[in-house]
Amino acid sequence: MKENAGDLGFEFGFGTHAFNQLRAQIITYRSFTLFFSAAVLFVLLLLHLMLYYKFPEDQSNLLISIIVGLLLISDVAVHSYVYSDLTAYWYTVLRLIWAYTSSFAYIFLPYVTATIFGLKKLKKVIWLIAGYPLLVLSSIFAPELLNYIALLLFSISIFLLGYICWQAYTSRKRGVYFVAFGVLGALILTIMYMLYALSLIEINIGIYSVMIAFNYTLFPLGMTLYVADSYGYLFTSMENEVSDRTHELQEKSKEITRQAAADRVRAEISSMRNIRDLQKITPLIWKELHVLGVPFSRCGTFIIDEEAEMVQMHLSNPDGKALAATTLTFSDMDYIGEALQHWRNGTIFTVQWNAERLTNWARMLAERGLIDSTDTYLNSATPIESLHLHFVPFKQGMLYVGSSEPLGSDELKNIEELAEAFSVAYARYEDFTQLEEKNNELLTALQNLEAAQDQLVQQEKLASLGQLTAGIAHEIKNPLNFVNNFSEVSDEMITELIEALNKGDIDESLALSKDIGANLRKIHEHGSRADGIVKSMLQHSRGGDGKMEPTPIN
């Protein structure tokens, strides 16, 4: 027979006889129960503390460990020395109240703590918190339903904990370890209750102690740790979010700084108009590298002309002062072969020089007259012990930076962006230079063309003048021929006239005089004709008739 509702407990689900038998075993093996429960408690607390030391950022773990320990110790003590004297009904009621209250405390305490800190993400477990008082009331006023409610809750708990496991796995993997406690406890309890309800197994003191340990440790502890870990995850998420946001802002600031430096380099190179302006670039790059926070001691540019096998270098000393631009052949630089290969492949070339090699390099520059002295390049009587040269390629050459230590990836990225900016701007400079050369060529061709055109016009003018002169000469020559001819004839006739006069031949003298007069008139006629031609030419050249005429001046 069933006794009032004593056989309808959440903890049992078996008859009065079985309960009395179990209670007798509890009384008989009270010390064993206490020892076994304490041992299980110790192992679980040890595991919990290990988790605390593994994840020290969640300070709530230590607090929950203490709370769980106090609840379990008090539960074992009360169970062993108080519950053994109660009737089955009140034993079941008090065990239910204790179980629900303790489990409620396991979840409610971190919930309240998190709420105080303003975190309200765990709305999913509110129904669990509200469900505990309902279960307590139902166990007192409707104990017949408790078995079915218990089986239903255990079934739901399996799916709930599975969902929690999935959530813990997707949000934070370590939550899987925490929830595994609850999953294990729920599974074992469910299986044990069902097997016992079907009379397939007998519950003795050992099994009962294990059930008590699981019921009051693993399941609520797993739920508690999941809740605590969720809040810890929230705190950590907030910290991570702030850290990520700070890192993002820092990266944006670095990017803005890099872009500004690159823009200044591009603007400076774009303003260049001749090769001498390149000497201004080395101090600018020096300044921008300092702005970007790159640790270095010297820098410069190598402009490579692979067809001519020449390298135009723009160097600097450790003070950032630009040295005179120098040009070397590939054979003058012992490391240029490897550097060229990296340049062709578009990869960074790094070489380490010791003090001796650096001094030899400075001495070679001084011997070739490229620098005043080795101190000009080294800027010190005793150079640094080691110099790491980083050659960052761009389309037209390489940007080199020397430092005492190898540069990191961030520094090299900054240099690469400067090199890219230099390349783009230098390409524009080359385009401008080529355009200027083309313009000069066109200007020279135009000047030559204009000179040829002037010469051609002059030749045409001379040709026209020659034709005009020939025509004028022809026009003038005709009357002059008449003048000359009549003059010669007149001269002969005068000689004859003198002879006739000497002879006293009057008639012949008169005839000769008449002929001479006629010749003189002909000479005057043709002379006037020549004078008319000349006057016509003068009038044509002056645009007037050549006569003086009165002109009003008012």
Instruction: Please state, in angstroms and rounded to a whole number, the distance separating the CA atoms of residues 450 and 445.
Output: 8
CA proximity to 9, closest of 135, 105, 132:
135
Instruction: Please state, in angstroms and rounded to a whole number, the distance separating the CA atoms of residues 260 and 266.
Output: 10
Instruction: Please state, in angstroms and rounded to a whole number, the distance separating the CA atoms of residues 49 and 62.
Output: 7
**Residue 331: per-residue pLDDT:** 73
The pair of structure tokens assigned to 369 is 């007259």
Instruction: Please state, in angstroms and rounded to a whole number, the distance separating the CA atoms of residues 465 and 453.
Output: 18
Question: Which pTM does this prediction carry?
Answer: 0.42
Class of domain 271-407: alpha beta
* pLDDT tens, per residue, the chain with 554 residues: 333 333 333 333 334 454 455 555 555 555 555 565 556 556 655 655 665 565 555 555 555 555 555 655 555 555 555 555 555 445 545 554 555 455 544 444 444 444 444 444 444 444 444 444 554 455 445 544 544 555 555 555 556 555 655 655 555 544 455 555 555 555 555 565 555 555 555 555 455 555 555 555 555 555 555 555 555 544 454 555 666 777 777 777 777 776 777 677 767 666 666 666 666 777 777 777 777 778 887 788 888 888 888 888 777 766 667 666 677 777 766 666 777 888 888 888 888 888 788 788 778 777 777 676 777 667 655 556 778 888 888 888 888 888 888 888 888 888 888 888 778 777 777 777 788 888 888 888 888 988 888 888 888 888 887 787 777 777 778 888 888 888 888 888 888 888 888 888 888 878 878 888 888 888 888 888 888 878 877 777 665 555 566 656 65
The identity of residue 497, as a single letter, is L
Q: Note whether 89 and 264 are within 8 A (CB).
A: no
Q: What is the DSSP letter of 380?
A: S
Distances (CA, A) of 113 to 59, 119, 179: 12, 9, 20
**Residue 64: per-residue pLDDT:** 53
Distances (CA, A) of 99 to 40, 71, 92, 208: 17, 10, 10, 15
CA proximity to 106, closest of 136, 159, 63, 165:
63
CA proximity to 391, closest of 299, 265, 502, 511:
299
Q: Give the count of beta carbons closer than 10 Å to the beta carbon of residue 301.
A: 23
**Residue 7: per-residue pLDDT:** 33
Instruction: Please state, in angstroms and rounded to a whole number, the distance separating the CA atoms of residues 77 and 242.
Output: 47
Region of 342 on the Ramachandran plot (φ > 0 left; ψ -120 to 50 alpha; else beta) = alpha
The pair of structure tokens assigned to 148 is 């079915």
The pair of structure tokens assigned to 253 is 């600031």
For the chain, the domains span 16-219, 271-407, 453-542
Q: Note whether 363 and 374 are within 8 A (CB).
A: yes
DSSP track, 345-368: HT--EEEEEEHHHHHHHHHHHHHT
Question: Dihedral angle at the C-alpha atoms of 456, 461, 464, 468, nearest 10 degrees?
Answer: -160
Cβ within 8 Å of residue 489, ≥6 positions away: 519
Question: Dihedral angle at the C-alpha atoms of 498, 503, 508, 511, nearest 10 degrees?
Answer: 30
**Residue 95: per-residue pLDDT:** 54
- Reduced to 3 states (helix: H, G, I; strand: E, B; else coil), residue 39 is helix
Q: What is the DSSP letter of 321?
A: P
Instruction: Please state, in angstroms and rounded to a whole number, the distance separating the CA atoms of residues 223 and 466.
Output: 122
Q: Note whether 373 and 411 are within 8 A (CB).
A: no
Max Cα–Cα distance, the chain, nearest Å: 210
Task: Please write the tens of the pLDDT for every residue from 426-483.
Answer: 777 777 778 888 888 888 888 898 888 888 888 888 888 778 777 777 777 888 888 8
Instruction: Please state, in angstroms and rounded to a whole number, the distance separating the CA atoms of residues 243 and 201.
Output: 56
Instruction: Please state, in angstroms and rounded to a whole number, the distance separating the CA atoms of residues 159 and 167.
Output: 12
**Residue 77: per-residue pLDDT:** 58
DSSP track, 6-23: TT--SS----HHHHHHHH
The identity of residue 528, as a single letter, is S
Q: Note whether 405 and 295 are within 8 A (CB).
A: yes
Three-state SS for 464-484 is HHHHHHHHHHHHHHHHHHHHH
